[in-house]
């Protein structure tokens, strides 16, 4: 009889005197889930358990929808760590009213106060006496050497050597030297000296010019 009573106990519902026999109290006692306090927060206390058990991997990291994603250590991005490399070599094709051709250049020295650049190319001169070069039209070979040196924060020395040769042996050479000095924040003293040599079929001619300027930036 005792065994039958124990087996049949879970299926028999009897009023409990502790609750006074009220149907509402009996229903509340029979369902413990109704005794939980309501959650008025944006994230309930058991939300992390639900994320850990049933949510996808992405939701476990970012949190509930509408919330700010969690910042994990090492996920922050830092500014100024990118240093894209600038090529030392450059190639270009050009054309104008007096010359067409191609050029190749390389920066042998570009870091620090001293800079050195080389440039070579071949082309065809369409019309003479339009720019620095030989006086005869035809195929040509050109080149240039650029040298810059900075002295402190105020002075800079620049030197450029250009040459061009033609099909008959004509040669043109130009050397330009400049010295720029910053006197005040808006004032600069610029000096320029140029020498031109043109073989002109073996006869040759030389010219020189210089300038001294005081410039103010507005």
- Does residue 10 lie in a domain region? no
- Does residue 93 lie in a domain region? yes
- Does residue 27 lie in a domain region? yes
- Does residue 3 lie in a domain region? no
- Does residue 186 lie in a domain region? yes
Query: What whole-number percentage of the chain has pLDDT above 90?
Result: 32
Instruction: Indicate whether 109 and 52 sit together in one domain.
Output: no
Instruction: Indicate whether 53 and 114 sit together in one domain.
Output: no
In sequence order, which ranges of the chain are alpha helices (DSSP H)?
Answer: 2-8, 23-30, 47-54, 57-62
**58 vs 51: CA distance, rounded Å:** 10
Q: What confidence tier does 55 reach under pLDDT thresholds 50, 70, 90? A: very low
- Does residue 12 lie in a domain region? no
- Does residue 105 lie in a domain region? yes
Instruction: Indicate whether 94 and 61 sit together in one domain.
Output: no
Instruction: Indicate whether 104 and 207 sit together in one domain.
Output: yes
Residue 15: predicted pLDDT = 47
Residue 130: predicted pLDDT = 72
How do residues 142-186 score in pLDDT, each as one tens digit?
999 999 999 988 999 999 999 999 888 889 999 999 999 998 888
Instruction: Indicate whether 105 and 208 sit together in one domain.
Output: yes
Instruction: Indicate whether 138 and 181 sit together in one domain.
Output: yes
Q: How many domains does the chain have?
A: 2
Instruction: Indicate whether 151 and 111 sit together in one domain.
Output: yes
Instruction: Indicate whether 100 and 186 sit together in one domain.
Output: yes
The domain in which residue 62 lies consists of: 20-67
In sequence order, which ranges of 42-177 are alpha helices (DSSP H)?
Answer: 47-54, 57-62
Instruction: Indicate whether 103 and 189 sit together in one domain.
Output: yes
Give 157 or 59, the one with higher predicted confidence.
157
- Does residue 8 lie in a domain region? no
Q: Is 195 helix (H, G, I), strand (E, B) or coil?
A: strand
Q: What confidence tier does 10 reach under pLDDT thresholds 50, 70, 90? A: very low
Instruction: Indicate whether 205 and 100 sit together in one domain.
Output: yes
How do residues 99-119 score in pLDDT, each as one tens digit?
999 999 999 998 889 999 999
DSSP string, 94-133: EE-SSEEEEEEEEEEE-SSSEEEEEEEEEEEESSSSSSSS
User: Average per-residue pLDDT in the chain?
Assistant: 75
Instruction: Indicate whether 158 and 55 sit together in one domain.
Output: no
Q: What confidence tier does 188 reach under pLDDT thresholds 50, 70, 90? A: very high
Residue 67: predicted pLDDT = 55
DSSP 8-state secondary structure symbol assigned to residue 80: S
Residue 72: predicted pLDDT = 62
Counted residue by residue, the chain has a size of 218
Please state the rounded mean pLDDT for residues 116-124: 95
């Amino acid at each position: 009889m005792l065994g039958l009573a124990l087996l049949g106990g879970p299926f028999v519902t009897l009023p409990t005197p502790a609750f006074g026999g009220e149907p509402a109290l009996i229903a509340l006692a029979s369902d413990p889930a109704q005794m939980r306090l309501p959650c008025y927060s944006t994230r309930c206390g058991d939300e992390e358990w639900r994320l850990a058990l049933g949510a996808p991997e992405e939701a476990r990291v970012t949190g509930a929808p509408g919330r700010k994603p969690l910042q994990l250590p090492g996920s922050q991005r830092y500014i100024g760590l990118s240093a894209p490399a600038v090529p030392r070599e450059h190639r270009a094709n050009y054309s104008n009213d007096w010359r067409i051709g191609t050029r190749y250049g390389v920066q042998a020295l570009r870091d620090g106060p001293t800079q050195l650049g080389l440039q070579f190319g071949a082309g065809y001169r369409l019309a003479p006496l339009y720019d620095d070069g030989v006086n005869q039209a035809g195929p040509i070979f050109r080149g240039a050497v650029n040298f810059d040196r900075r002295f402190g924060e105020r002075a800079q020395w620049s030197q450029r050597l250009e040459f061009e040769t033609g099909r008959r042996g004509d040669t043109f050479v130009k050397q330009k030297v400049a010295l720029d000095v910053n006197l005040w924040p808006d004032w600069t003293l610029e000096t320029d000296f140029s020498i031109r040599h043109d073989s002109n079929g073996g006869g040759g001619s030389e010219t020189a010019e210089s300038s001294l300027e005081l410039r103010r930036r507005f």
